[in-house]
Structure 1
Amino acid sequence: MSEKNRDGKRTARERLAVEREKQKAGDKRRRTLIVGASVVCVLGLAAVIGVIAAHAGKDKGSSAGPVVAPSGAQGKDSLAIPVGKDGARPTLTVWEDFRCPACRAFETVYRPTLHQLTDAGKLRVDYHLVRLIDGNLGGAGSLRAANAAACAQDAGKFREYHDVLYDNQPQESVDTLGDNDTLIRLAGKVKGLDTPAFRTCVKDGTHLTWVNKSHRAMGAAGYNSTPTVLLGGKNIMEDRTMSPARLKRLVETAGQG
């Protein structure tokens, strides 16, 4: 083998090694982003337990009323909003709060992969909406954003509006999403969503009591942070090796099984 060929192969190996290190560093940054943000939302749920009674009745969503599940909701007590094709397997279960920064971090990292898998019919995602941050910091942004997302589900626009809410998430301590006019304005970013029916649903709080029921179900299930993301009953957020690529492999393997 000539010296030139040996140098060429050595250079190729070095480039490959550099790319591998870049990939490892990228995966580490993504995990750090999610784990770091998750701490805030864990603390939020701890505070909820102590103050939820004090907040009960202070906003429209806390008053008793009929539980109206959004169109197409599934699962026990119709508390899950499904995204994906009927019959797709496996199912990823996500408990989330639209004010939670860790939930946005999860979306930032995993959204392209989830869209790809659900569009291909390889995965279904069941979203459970909760109001964890409201109980910790006050306000009603978690609750009202979840209600508006359920209204979007009624219109067949849940995934699109879900993504818009996270793309426009304010700082955790700022209750911008507690304003119905803001939620309606954001609906304008989703083609065909800002209709009289959607506006009425948001302003009347049609699904507020349903959101509260979903929130209670999270505690009853023993989960204490958002996002809680379950695949095959296991919380993938506790797996420090998890990445979008690894999740994709797990989903495709489960689908083949």
Structure 2
Amino acid sequence: MSEKNRDGKRTARERLAAERQRQRSADRRRRALIVGASIVCVLGLATVVGLLAANAGKSGKSGAAGPAVAPSGATGKDSLAIPVGQDSAKSTLTVWEDFRCPACQAFETAYRPTIRELTDAGKLRVEYHLATLIDGNTGGSGSHRAANAAACAQDAGKFRDFHDVLYENQPSETEDGFSDKAKLIELAGKVPGLDTPAFQTCVNDGTHDGWVTKSNDAFQSGGFSGTPTVLLDGKNIYTDRTMTPAKLKQMVEAANKS
């Protein structure tokens, strides 16, 4: 065999080996992304007991103790739902969420325009339930304090707008930026008419801390796998891999025609 042929075969083998290595690296990255996406904001069954114990131990630190004072207009069992939309709407979207949860932010970014369109048209009513899953998973109090601030915004009749501002300014999951009450009050300035003495007192005093704890307890005992959990008329649509904003709109429109 000539030296030229041997060099050619060696080069081909080297190219094949390099290609296989690139493929293995791509597969590892793809698996890492899939695993990472699947565990974001998910409450593993095996860790429920530990998280409940951790939350219980941190309840005093986050200011969660005290009476469960529901925000104005809260509805449902134990007044744990914050409603947005008309009572006469034929479809109800139930959303369990955590303001520190990146997956919740992703859901909001994708579905908010459609949800707003349907609620403004009187075709959809949304009931928001607030959880503090990330506080339990990574430590901190930002989920709890943001939920209290959102309840304070509900008292002022500005929950939806402040809800959107929180997601638009969500800090990194590991930073716990919402634990800073001054930051929450600063963000309230982005909602016209919300940053008032009454709102500031509500945030600083943790007026709805006990209610937030009760809401999170309901989440923990509800058998949900993580946040967001999104139910349309009782059916979990977040786990439907074919679901899109267009499909959600189609389902709501069909319910209103029936």
Which ranges of 4 or more aligned residues in structure 1 deviate by more than 4 Å? 35-38, 43-48
Q: 5 Å matches for 1:88-103? A: 88-103=89-104
Aligned to 2:28: none
Partners in 2 of 1:193 and 1:124 — Cα distance?
Answer: 23
Partners in 2 of 1:227 and 1:68 — Cα distance?
Answer: 24
Aligned to 1:206: 207
Partners in 1 of 2:198 and 2:47 — Cα distance?
Answer: 35
Partners in 1 of 2:250 and 2:82 — Cα distance?
Answer: 24
CA contact (8 A) 1:48 1:132 kept: no
Deviations 1:125-181 (A, max 9, x none): 000001000001110000000000000000000000000000000110011001100
Identity %: 69
Q: 5 Å matches for 1:182-197? A: 182-197=183-198
Q: Alignment partner of 1:50: what SS?
A: helix
Partners in 2 of 1:226 and 1:57 — Cα distance?
Answer: 20
Aligned to 1:146: 147
1:51 counterpart letter in structure 2 = L
Q: Alignment partner of 2:129: what SS?
A: strand
Aligned to 1:136: 137
Partners in 1 of 2:104 and 2:46 — Cα distance?
Answer: 17
* Aligned-residue offset at 1:36: 6.6
Deviations 1:175-234 (A, max 9, x none): 100110000000000000000000000000000110110111112221120000001211
For structure 2, which runs of at least 5 residues remain unmatched after alignment?
1-32
| 1:62 maps onto 2:64 in alignment | yes
CA contact (8 A) 2:64 2:212 kept: no
Aligned to 1:179: 180
CA contact (8 A) 2:44 2:225 kept: no
Deviations 1:76-131 (A, max 9, x none): 11000000123112100000000000000000100000000000000000000010
* Aligned-residue offset at 1:43: 4.3
| 1:52 maps onto 2:52 in alignment | yes
Aligned to 2:87: 86
Distance 1:94 1:83, change over 3 A: same
Aligned to 1:119: 120
Partners in 1 of 2:192 and 2:98 — Cα distance?
Answer: 24
Distance 1:129 1:99, change over 3 A: same
Partners in 1 of 2:93 and 2:51 — Cα distance?
Answer: 31
CA contact (8 A) 1:97 1:131 kept: yes
Count of aligned pairs between the two proteins: 224
1:118 counterpart letter in structure 2 = T
Specify the structure having the higher radius of gyration (Cα).
Answer: 2
| 1:226 maps onto 2:245 in alignment | no
CA contact (8 A) 1:79 1:210 kept: yes
* Aligned CA-pair RMSD: 2.0
